[in-house]
Chains A and B, each alone.
Chain A
Amino acid sequence: MSRIAPLPLAEIDDPELRALIARGEALGVPDGLFGRILARVPGHAKPLLRALIQSHETGNVDHKLKEIIRIQLARFAGDDYFARLRSTRARAAGLTEAEIEAGCGDYEDAGCFTEAEKCALRYADQMYLDPAKVDAAFYDELKRHYSEPQIMELGAFIAFHYGMQMFMRTLAAKPLAQG
């Protein structure tokens, strides 16, 4: 059980907040737990859930790649909750556990990622491990594979998910399905 208990759904009256929680559950990330913990502060819960859901549902970077990045970051953050959740959309698009493992491990030599994908995985990998390496030369390399809007999408995705994962790590939270 999380160190901050989620609100029972019956105690959440705001229809918009309930809809956002349901939308997250349908996407698989987050399950109901994250939204029901945030629901203790509805004014924060709604923009944070909206941002998280939009990071999944919108954008011009491959969703499967972003899902691998999200799990790679959760493992680096030590957050069991987000690391165990899976995007239903990424699964439906064919993302396998083997690809996730490859992306979270030695992705440079895994043989299943393009140079562009490896560059994006390195972006996430280095952002919190060694941000000094994410320098002007690194952004030049990113620009060879991605447009500036795509780089902003990737960077904001990495920053947002890592931040929420660090918070959830401290709560020792687990996915609802795994208790």
Chain B
Amino acid sequence: MRSASAKRQGLDEERLDEGITSYATSARFSAAEKLALRYCELMATDPDAIDDAFYDALRQHYDEAEIVELGAFIGFNIGYHTFFGTLKFYPMFSPDGRLVSQEESARLYGAAPASLQATESA
């Protein structure tokens, strides 16, 4: 599933994949964006690494309102995506915009989305 508004703003699959799998070494992300992506990664995988120094680094790029926005957004998504994963449902629409059954969607999108496969192999 993809955000229509992010797509309209120019987010493509290549940038999305790079943001998930290789943002740290990518030239397509600014230092601020890399730090936000690391905030997300660490909250899910190594929250102890998000210490005072990490928040100081965030403050070099974002104000406190932006940090709270990011942190709450990340936490919300960590919580819900695992729950959704246990329900085994798939997007209602095919990549070309057709309304499809859950069976067809499962065939189209596969048992494990590419983004999850990338996370698991990282």
- Asked whether B72 lies within 8 Å of A162 as measured between CB atoms, the reply is no
- Once A78-B47, A164-B75 are accepted as A-B contacts, the answer to whether A159 and B68 lie under 8 Å apart by CB is no
Looking at the assembled complex, report how far the CB atom of B90 sits from the nearest CB atom of chain A, in whole angstroms: 15
- A9 contacts the other chain (CB 8 A): no
The answer to whether A136 touches B43 (Cβ under 8 A) is no
* A166→B82 contact, CB < 8 A: no
Q: Which one of A4, A131, A156 lies within 8 Å of B82 (CB-CB)?
A: A131
Chief secondary structure at chain B's binding surface: helix
Q: Does the CB pair A164–B82 fall under 8 Å?
A: no
Summarize A's interface: helix, strand, loop or mixed.
Answer: helix
Q: Is A163's CB under 8 angstroms from B77's CB?
A: yes
Task: With both chains docked as a complex, state the minimum distance between the C-beta of B78 and any C-beta of chain A, in angstroms.
Answer: 5
CB pair A48 B43 closer than 8 Å: no
How distant is A101 from chain B, measured CB to nearest CB, in Å?
Answer: 24
Give me the interface of B with A, judged by CB distance under 8 Å. Answer: 43-44, 47-48, 50, 52, 55, 64-65, 67-69, 71-80, 82-88
Bound form: Cα–Cα A136–B85 in Å:
12
| Chain A residues positioned under 8 Å from B68 (CB to CB) | 4, 37-38, 40-41, 44
Q: Is the CB of A167 within 8 A of B74?
A: yes
Apart from A131-B86, A138-B86, A164-B79: 16 A-B pairs, beta carbons within 8 A: A4-B64, A4-B71, A37-B68, A38-B72, A40-B64, A41-B72, A48-B76, A78-B47, A127-B82, A158-B83, A159-B82, A159-B84, A160-B79, A163-B79, A166-B44, A170-B47
> How many angstroms between the C-alpha atoms of A63 and B55 in the bound complex?
35
Chain B residue with the shortest CB-CB distance to A168: B75
CA–CA, A164 and B73, complex, Å: 9
Task: Give complex CA distance A166, B87 in Å.
Answer: 21
User: What number of A-B contacts does a CB cutoff of 8 Å give?
Assistant: 87
Q: How far is the CA of A99 from the CA of B21 in the complex (A)?
A: 43
Interface centre among A3, A135, A136, A169 (most CB of B within 10 A): A3
A residues near B55, Cβ cutoff 8 Å: 3-4
Could you tell me the distance between the alpha carbons of A165 and B74 in the complex, rounded to whole angstroms? 11
On chain B, the residues within 8 Å of A158 by CB distance are: 79, 83
- Whether A159 touches B75, Cβ cut-off 8 Å, given contacts A40-B65, A41-B68, is no
For A37, what are the chain B residues with a Cβ–Cβ distance below 8 Å? 68
A105 contact set on B, CB distance < 8 A:
none
Taking CB atoms, residues of chain B closer than 8 Å to A139 are 86
CB distance B83 to A170 under 8 Å? no
- Once the chains bind, are B47 and A166 in contact (CB under 8 Å)? yes
List the A residue with the shortest CB-CB distance to B85: A131
Q: Does A171 lie at the interface of the complex (its beta carbon under 8 Å from any beta carbon of B)?
A: yes
CB distance from A3 to the nearest CB of B (A): 5
Closest to B84 in A: A159
